[in-house]
């Protein structure tokens, strides 16, 4: 998620100034460093369709087995992930500067609050904070050259409402919510290993599928229809390893792609699940 913000927020990285929020279709395209390009399989668009009245039993069984594998048989512990802060470190694409070392600190509060703080490595550390709070949001840029806070435009808010709705799926608990409906989808191959895929329908959530390794039963891919500049895009979050923290196996090494193009390649370094999130985090930079 949040791909558009890297284009539009307004941050200087490696001496290249990224345009401020409100970017246009004519702006210079992203340039990725060749050393970090990853060939993508042909992106398969998600078949939306109408949600069935109830889940397919075989698909529900796949998800139940995955939940058991991720929680060591204690699915109730997933509920604490409705308030979570996690950190990812890796390299991500930045318009005009190729792949740049980045640290992402993301705070989520179910169902509609997201705070993402992105630190970009370079001669001068750049920090961008983006907050989406249910039906609005803002961005804040801090660097030696500029410090500024801007409200998100209505178009950006609409994009993120759609895009962010699938952010929760890698945490698995939405799959066991009472209003979630599951159905079969074509299987995929991740890291040369077969994975069983399930389609997810949930009120307020964009079209999405989740894929689980056939052997370990662990989540290896989330594919969903995102939005950028008011246009649909297919996003793929793929996990290549997992890390157990406090009884839950989280996706660790991962890649995020947009329409088949690598956007972020990193790994999970920290997870915190406090009883609640300080509301000030969504009000102040």
pLDDT digits (tens, 9 = 90+) for 203-241: 999 999 999 999 999 999 999 999 888 899 999 999 999
Q: How many domains does the chain have?
A: 1
pLDDT of residue 125: 67
Bond preceding residue 111 cis, omega within 30 of 0? yes
Look at residues 97, 92, 132, 130 and name the one whose alpha carbon lies nearest to residue 112: 132
Low pLDDT (below 50) residues in the chain? 3-4, 6-45
Q: How far apart are CA 136 and CA 152, in angstroms?
A: 7
Q: CA angle, corner 144, sides to 148 and 100, nearest 5?
A: 95
Look at residues 200, 203, 131 and name the one whose alpha carbon lies nearest to residue 169: 200
Task: Note down the domain range covering 10.
Answer: 3-282
Q: How far apart are CA 253 and CA 258, in angstroms?
A: 17
- Report CA torsion sign: 251, 5, 89, 28: positive
| Phi–psi pair at 152, nearest 5 degrees | -70, 145
pLDDT of residue 31: 31
pLDDT of residue 10: 38
Q: CA angle, corner 211, sides to 209 and 40, nearest 5?
A: 85
pLDDT of residue 2: 52
User: What are the start-end ranges of the E strands in the chain?
Assistant: 12-13, 16-17, 83-94, 98-109, 113-120, 126-133, 137-142, 147-151, 181-190, 193-201, 208-213, 219-228, 231-239, 242-245, 248-251, 254-258, 261-272
**What is the model's pTM?**
0.84
Q: How far apart are CA 249 and CA 92, in angstroms?
A: 24
Radius of gyration of the chain (CA): 18
pLDDT of residue 1: 52
CATH number at 97 reads 2.50.20.10
pLDDT of residue 201: 95
pLDDT of residue 46: 57
25 CB-near residues (< 8 Å, 6+ apart): 229
Q: How far apart are CA 140 and CA 143, in angstroms?
A: 10
């Amino acid at each position: 998620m949040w791909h558009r913000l890297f284009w539009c927020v307004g941050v200087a990285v490696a001496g290249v100034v990224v345009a401020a929020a409100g970017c246009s279709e004519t702006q210079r395209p992203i340039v990725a460093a060749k050393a970090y390009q990853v060939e993508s399989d042909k992106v398969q668009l998600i078949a939306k369709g109408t949600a069935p009245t109830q889940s397919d039993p075989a698909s529900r069984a796949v998800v139940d087995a995955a939940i058991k594998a991720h929680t060591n048989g204690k699915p109730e512990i997933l509920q604490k992930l409705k308030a979570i802060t996690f950190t990812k470190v890796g390299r991500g694409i930045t318009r005009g500067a190729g792949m740049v070392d980045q640290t992402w600190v993301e705070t989520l509060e179910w169902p509609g609050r997201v705070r993402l703080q992105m630190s970009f490595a370079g001669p001068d550390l750049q920090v961008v904070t983006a907050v989406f709070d249910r039906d609005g949001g803002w961005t804040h840029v801090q660097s030696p050259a500029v410090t500024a806070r801007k409200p998100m435009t209505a178009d950006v808010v609409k994009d993120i409402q759609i895009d962010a709705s699938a952010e929760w799926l890698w945490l698995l608990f939405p799959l066991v919510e009472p209003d979630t409906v599951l159905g079969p989808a074509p299987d995929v191959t991740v890291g040369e290993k077969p994975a069983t895929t399930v389609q997810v329908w949930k009120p307020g959530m964009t079209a999405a599928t989740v894929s689980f390794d056939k052997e370990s039963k662990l989540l290896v891919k989330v594919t969903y229809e995102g939005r950028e500049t008011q246009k649909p895009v297919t996003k793929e979050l793929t996990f290549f390893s997992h890390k157990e923290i406090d009884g839950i196996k989280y996706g660790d090494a991962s890649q995020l792609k947009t329409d088949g193009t690598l956007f972020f390649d990193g790994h999970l370094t920290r997870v915190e699940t406090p009883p609640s999130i300080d509301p000030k985090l969504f009000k102040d930079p």
